[in-house]
Structure 1
């Protein structure tokens, strides 16, 4: 398993996450299953953009039932985010082209246990809007991560704009990601005024050697050099 994998993000930038909405009567659980399957397909995609994933394999990693896996995959196919290939159990991500802009780094290996499972997925009950919001937020962070600083700076307004998550629901999604170890939150001084504080977010298991202590000095030196010039 690779440390990270490439995942298409153009559809996220186009507000595609808004298509995944919570509805009563089981519809919301299908949306959760779809995003879980999407992440797993990305994790197992080869250099040709193909992923060989059986229902048994997806079940082992995520704990999803075969029925939920089927409905989740149907959602992804209907929204043209994946394609089912002629070969059995072979799936491909749509719009994946790492030679151009429109892809992000999705953490992979660090999410798995020694038994090949993703603990966060195993804990999902598929009965909570917060679970869907958390998965949407996670993919949004993958898309919007500043690759130079390895950090995500997004206001609640921006999060809501890109994902469709209600502002008042964002804290629940952040908490779910944080307590499960998928993100780390950092407080920093805002540029609004000298007393304002804003939050930044870092994806766990992704370029952990690049953080405020390693990138901050370079940024300070760059600003200082610009001012001196």
Structure 2
């Protein structure tokens, strides 16, 4: 498996707007979305969840253990993830609520998440906005071309990101090598908003091996982090 399966309904329902950038909540919102991407990238389509340790999530997302806990708790409170304790040894099973193996799903490229998620900062509204927009673009990606043709207006609709913050968030994602951006040939949407073509990078075809080790060979957290 080189891509994970994420249910699309929560993005279509504009649930990303619930992840606030307010003072005191921003860090938890970033942690929650990074945890969600770490889980989604390792959530097989034909499976009942992603089996991961805290070490796996903390390493993929570059989060401290307390922030992993806070991020997962936010996802659980928003009813986006179910957590089954102690699935295998020091791991839990994380089930993305709404996923069904026979239903449509959004692909999440495991290679890009494994290599780049940790480089998205844990502070600052630009990084929260970048996570929201990246998730939305994955949802809107054309499966044949890997391109999402989207106006700023539509990104704002799905994410709640301020219109004047979209370009900065796009720059964060592009700088990490997670997508390419070019102005659409139509340039403007019907409503007069600029439209871009976003080419999502990564293995969406499932041709590369999984980036995670089998659960019995993963590193365990050191005692002081347990």
Q: Normalised by the shorter chain, which TM-score bucket?
A: 0.7 to 0.9
State the TM-score, normalizing by the size of structure 1.
0.79
Structure 1 distance, partners of 2:187, 2:131, is: 29
Correspondence for 2:141 = 145
Structure 2 distance, partners of 1:150, 1:61, is: 23
Equivalent runs, 1:19-98 vs 2, <5 Å = 19-25=18-24, 27-46=25-44, 47-88=46-87, 89-98=92-101
Higher relative contact order (CA 8 A, sep 6+): 2
Q: Cα distance 1:142–1:124, how it changes in 2: closer, same or farther (>3 A)? A: closer
Correspondence for 1:176 = 172
Equivalent runs, 1:97-136 vs 2, <5 Å = 97-101=100-104, 103-112=105-114, 118=115, 120-136=116-132
> How much has 1:87 moved relative to structure 2?
3.4
Correspondence for 1:202 = 199
Q: CA RMSD in A?
A: 2.2
Structure with greater proportional strand content = 2
SS at structure 1 position matched to 2:20: coil
Structure 1 distance, partners of 2:184, 2:52, is: 41
Corresponding residue pairs, total: 197
State the TM-score, normalizing by the size of structure 2.
0.80
Gaps of 5+ in 2: 206-226
Gaps of 5+ in 1: 113-117, 209-229
Asked which structure has the greater CA Rg, the reply is 1
Structure with greater proportional helix content = 1
